[in-house]
Amino acid sequence: MASHGISDRVAIIGMSCTNFVEHWDKGLDDLIIEASNECFTSAGVAKDDVDAYWLGTAQGGMSGITLARPLQLIGKPVTRVENYCATGSEALRQACYGVASGAYDVAMAVGVEKTKDSGFQGLNAVPPPNDGTGRTLTAAAMFSMVAPAYGRRYGVDADTMRQAMAHIASKNHHNGARNPRAQFRKEVSTETILRSPKVAGDLGVFDCAGVADGAAAAIVCRADQAARFTDTPLYVKALSFVAGNGSGLTDPAYDYTTFPEITACAADAYAQAGVVDPATEIAMAEVHDCFTITELVLMEDLGFCPRGAAWRQVLDGRFDLDGALPVNSDGGLKSFGHPVGASGLRMMFEAWLQLRGEAPADRQIAGITQRARPLALTHNLGGYPGEMVSFVSILGPHVG
Amino acid sequence: MRGILGWGTYLPHRRLDRTEIAAFVGQGGGKGTRTVASYDEDSTTMAVEAARRVPGAVAAEMLMFATSFPAYADKTNATVIHAALRMSASALAIDLGQSTRSAMGGIMMAAHGTGTVLVASADIRSGWAGSAEESAGGDAGAALLFGDDTPSSPVVAEVIATASATEEFVDRWRSPGETRTKVWDERFAELTYGRLGQQAWTTALASAQIHAADVTSVVVTAPTARIRASLAARLGATRVIDARSSTIGVCGAAQPALSLADLLEQSGPGQIVALVSLADGADVVLLRTTAALTNHRSAPTVEGQASAGAPLPYGRFLSWRGNLSVEPPRRPEPARISATAAARSDAWKFGFVASRDRETGQVYMPPQRVSADGKHTDDMDSQPMANTVGTVATFTIDHVAYSPSPPIVFAVVDFDGGGRLPIEVCDCDVAEIAIGIRVEPTFRRLYVQDGLPNYFWKARPVRG
């Protein structure tokens, strides 16, 4: 029993990402076609060159036919996957294992979500028929319980917590303002963020991710064949996944200041990629900032800083675009928006741009392409404190 | 000897100040307060709360439930109470009719019947905005346990006589499906009830071979305070106790048991006491309290509950009663519950029964089949949690989630002796919730969809 990983055995040879906005004029199929066609062009392959497909969508449709029909895929294996908000990452993970196993030469992962057709606020899951005893709380409410718990544990007063969370929101809006694909392209001051109306607990509107429609895609092949398609592939160093057992909800020892699923998931990813000190070895990170407090805690769970230090390092600007470890250089869920099935692939798309030096000049991370072993980490979670799934990938432009 | 073995009462947390009514509507209202069932309560949940407070209720061989405002028609409501109390499957659970007098029917049948019988009653009283019924009504639950005297469950008040006087006349009425009670001429009702009340009273005294002066205390329940006062003045009993219409209101089918409990709580052993109920006729129960009365424990008392509670703005009252349409949260409404899934989780959903790991002692809420360490399957004991108090470990206020009355107060609760559950907190203002406060489980109706009430447990602050 072990997690061996498939480090450097699979390469990403093409990627795409639509704008993440309220696509009132585009349906799920339109988003799929747009992202897929751009991805075929990016990889320089034709539809038929792709041997197998994985579609990630949380609620966009059932089965692989949701992808096969709009793309008119003839006789292809197409699998629809769902893993909460980590759905897009899960699609890529399966596609990578598909080629790493030798079963296929070229595989594609497409993530898509049409969130804005419901007319409701936020994201809404449709539970299966049940006995009516489950929680019906919003994700914001569940995550809002983290901020006061964290503040208490580390002796950080509520005002300082608010400042740190506002810094995260402001940072991500700053980055998103420099991203033509992002949902919210305006810088927002911490003052405005602090004044925003409350959604749940101490979380205001500006502490919450945007909800958008969108799609993103990636095409992968075996690493030894990457050169046939591109000179600048990204190599998959690590793919790890942990589905929590929900124990945090029932275990009185859980204190809402950390997400154990993520700590375990990150440890597996670092082992796969041979990363010993993530705080210095990771050059950039795209993390699941569904709420500002989530991003704060993730800095510790992902090993970017010691326990209890994230709030200070956030305020010190360490994770800003020009900081030592830029986090969410594309604006994150906060300002890029969160089409559930697409978000995980969107994170990788930012790594694809940054590590290949293709990000817009005003948000290209300085010096990243000159690093000896520039590594990008993407982290994608689904669920709630106490009951979540976690995905971590590590990508790099070089073998080894 | 047969009589009352125990009782329990429940007054909801919220109070409507009657002076708010006229200020809002321009008419109606009055003095004092009335009790208001919360948006997440119905007659069934209030009956559960009252019955849970009756010592020994779980062991009853029969359960009768009376209300004029049932959650279900066609389907029995008493089975929900039966499930929440975790009564024996062999116990009969039935609903009485949908009139206020049906509660007295239950009391009469239990008084003269056999075995241990739990009579649960609850009501929600409504009328048009600004109406006398809306103002004078109250919401409550009350339950009485009847049975034969035994050393382990002694009779606290022996039934020495009952009497009834019946006549067809229209006083208050409501068509099935309607929510607002209508009223005929009050003076007509007063005269009719006065005549029938005296008739039943005289019959009961004769049957017990006593005189009115032998009755230490009597309580009269009636549709209005005026009708009650009119008869009470003519009974000749030593003492007439207040039915608390100025603080609680007139609670329909719940009123007879509520007032009888109140009467017993104010009585000592060895006294003759009487309940006179006026509801579509007159019914009298004469009781002689026993020495065991001193040892009866049902907390809290009616008086204690009547003087507690927290105010509810009239606008909220109207929206809870469906008399004022307020924009709901822009979130999807929950789906109706699955009857089959609910049946499978009976013990948890209705009885709040968790599981306890035989190896580690860990309590799982909801119950699990596999232990947290993954090593054991079906190595668990049942762990009832309904009477276990807990402490708020952390909490939040959700302004966005769907609720019939937002915002939702929500807490992670650690129960004494083990077990943690993230659970909704009710009867709690936003300013009241705090880490470390003590909360207790309470049976509630989360929402209704497709006519199916979704019953489950919430936590409420432990008060007083």
Interface test with A, best of B394, B405, B443, B457 (most A CBs within 10 A): B394
Considering CB atoms only, which of A129, A132, A250 is closest to B456? A132
Q: What percent of chain B has pLDDT over 90?
A: 91
User: CATH no. for residue A285?
Assistant: 3.40.47.10
Asked if residue B232 has pLDDT above 80, the reply is yes
What DSSP state is assigned to residue B377?
A: B
Instruction: Look at residue A124 and tell me if it is in a domain.
Output: no
Nearest to A124 among B331, B337, B414 (CB): B331
Smallest CA–CA distance from A387 into chain B, residue: B422
Q: Is B366's CB within 8 Å of A133's CB?
A: yes
A242 plus A146 within the same structural domain: yes
CA A156-A157-A163 angle, to 5 degrees, is 90
Which residues from B are below 8 Å from A145, CB to CB? 394-396, 412
Output the six-digit token pair for B318.
């109207």
How many angstroms separate the most distant Cα atoms in chain B?
A: 73
Kindly state whether residues A227 and A187 are assigned to the same domain.
no
CB A15 within 8 A of CB A217: yes
Helix (H, G, I), strand (E, B) or coil at B319: helix
**Tens-place pLDDT, residues B299-313:** 899 999 999 999 999
Set of chain B residues whose Cβ sits within 8 Å of the Cβ of A142: 396, 422
| Residue A1: predicted pLDDT | 56
Query: CA–CA separation, A353 vs B221, rounded Å?
Result: 79
Local structure of residue B100 (DSSP, 8 states): T
With beta carbons under 8 A apart, name residues in chain B contacting A245: 372, 374
A368: closest CA of chain B, how far (Å): 41
The predicted structure's pLDDT at residue A127: 86
Q: Is B412 helix (H, G, I), strand (E, B) or coil?
A: strand
- Does A240 lie in the same domain as A226? no
pLDDT of residue B177: 84
For B249-263, what is the mean pLDDT?
98
pLDDT score, position B350: 98
Q: Note whether residue A132 is domain-resident.
A: no
Closest partner residue to A133 (CB to CB) among B398, B412, B456 is B456
SS3 call for B343: helix
Q: For residue A42, what are its two tokens? A: 């990016």
- Contact between B397 and A200 using a beta-carbon 8 Å cutoff: yes
For chain B, the domains span 2-320, 339-461
Helix or strand or coil: residue B59? helix
Report chain A residues touching chain B, CB-CB < 8 A: 118-122, 124, 126-127, 129-133, 135-138, 140-142, 144-145, 148-149, 198-201, 245, 247, 249-252, 254, 256, 386
Residue B145's φ and ψ, nearest 5 degrees, are -110, 120
Which of A250, A290, A384 should be substituted to probe chain B, the one whose Cβ sees the most B Cβ atoms within 10 Å?
Answer: A250
Residue of A nearest to B414 (CA): A252
- Tell me, yes or no, if A85 is annotated catalytic: yes
pLDDT at B187 over 60: yes
Active site annotation includes A174 = no
Question: Is the same domain home to A165 and A198?
Answer: yes
Superfamily of domain B2-320: Thiolase/Chalcone synthase (3.40.47.10)
Report the sign of the C-alpha dihedral through residues A263, A266, A272, A277, in that order.
negative
pLDDT at A46 over 80: yes
Q: What is the pLDDT of residue A220?
A: 98
Q: How far, in Å, are A64, A151, A222, B201 from residue A77 at the CA level?
A: 8, 49, 18, 85
Q: Identify whether residues A259 and A334 lie together within a single domain.
A: yes
Give the nearest chain B residue to A256 (CA atoms). B394
Query: Mean pLDDT score of chain A, rounded to an integer?
Result: 96
**CB-CB: which of B342, B372, B410 is closest to A131?**
B342
Residue A20 lies in a domain: yes
Residues in chain B: 464
CB contact under 8 A, A124 and B332: yes
Contact B6, B261 (CB under 8 A): no
Is A291 inside any structural domain? Answer: yes
Quick one: pLDDT at residue B97? 86
The answer to whether B420 contacts chain A (CB < 8 Å) is yes
Q: Which residues of A touch B408 (CB under 8 A)?
A: 137, 141
Is residue A107 located within the same domain as residue A194? no
**Does residue A107 lie in a domain region?**
yes
Which of the pair, B329 or A291, is modelled with greater confidence? A291
Cβ distance of A119 and B330 shorter than 8 Å: yes
Which of B338, B401, B419 is the closest to A141 by Cβ? B401
More confidently predicted of B328 and A187: A187
The answer to whether the CB atoms of B398 and A148 lie below 8 A apart is: no
Q: How many domains does chain A have?
A: 2
The residue that leads in pLDDT, A172 or B400, is A172
Half-sphere exposure of A286 (CA within 13 A, CB side): 32
- A102 neighbors A226 (Cβ within 8 angstroms): no
Helix (H, G, I), strand (E, B) or coil at B191: helix
Tens-place pLDDT, residues B397-432: 999 888 889 999 999 999 999 999 999 999 999 999
Distance of CA B99 to the CA centre of its chain: 16
> In terms of domains, do A220 and A338 share one?
no
Could you tell me if A67 and A60 are in contact, meaning their C-beta atoms sit under 8 angstroms apart? no
d(C-alpha B80, C-alpha B41), whole Å: 13
8 Å CB contact of B394 and A252: no
Domain that holds residue A40: 10-118+213-231
pTM above 0.90, yes or no: yes
Question: Residue A387 has what pLDDT?
Answer: 94
Shortest alpha-carbon distance between residue A101 and chain B (Å): 30
Q: Do B396 and A201 touch (CB under 8 A)?
A: yes
Q: State the SS3 of A102-115.
A: CCCCEEEEEEEECC
**Residue pair B289/B5 in contact by the 8 Å Cβ criterion:** no
Indicate the residue of A127, A132, A200 with minimum beta-carbon distance to B396: A200
Closest CA to A319 of A278, A269, A371: A278
Do A324 and A298 share a structural domain?
yes
Residue B283 has pLDDT above 80, yes or no: yes
Write out chain A in H/E/C secondary structure. CCCCCCCCCEEEEEEEECCCECCCCCCHHHHHHHHHHHHHHHHCCCHHHCCEEEEECCCCCCCCHHHHHHHCCCCCCEEEECECECHHHHHHHHHHHHHHCCCCCEEEEEEEECCCCCCCCCCCCCCCCCCCCCCCCCHHHHHHCHHHHHHHHHCCCHHHHHHHHHHHHHHHHHHHCCCCCCCCCCCCCHHHHHHCCEEECCEEHHHECCCCEEEEEEEEEEHHHHHHCCCCCEEEEEEEEEECCCHHHHCCCCCCCCCHHHHHHHHHHHHHHCCCCHHHHEEEEECCCCEHHHHHHHHHHCCCCCCCCHHHHHHCCCCCCCCCCCECCCCHHHHHCCCHHHHHHHHHHHHHHHHCCCCCCCCCCCCHHHCCCCEEEEEEEEEECCEEEEEEEEEECCCC
Nearest 5°: CA angle at B146, between B140 and B149?
A: 145
Do residues A222 and A239 share a domain?
no
Q: Any chain A CB within 8 A of the CB of B422?
A: yes
Same domain membership, residue A266 and residue A294: yes
Q: Which amino acid is at B421?
A: L
Q: Between the CA of residue B203 and those of A77, B105, B122, what are the distances in Å?
A: 87, 17, 28
A173 shares its domain with A285: yes
- The 10s digit of each residue's pLDDT in A190-222 is 999 999 999 999 999 999 999 999 999 999 999
B360 in A contact zone (CB under 8 Å): no
Q: Are residues A52 and A180 in the same domain?
A: no
Q: Which of A231, A265, A284 is the last residue of a domain?
A: A231
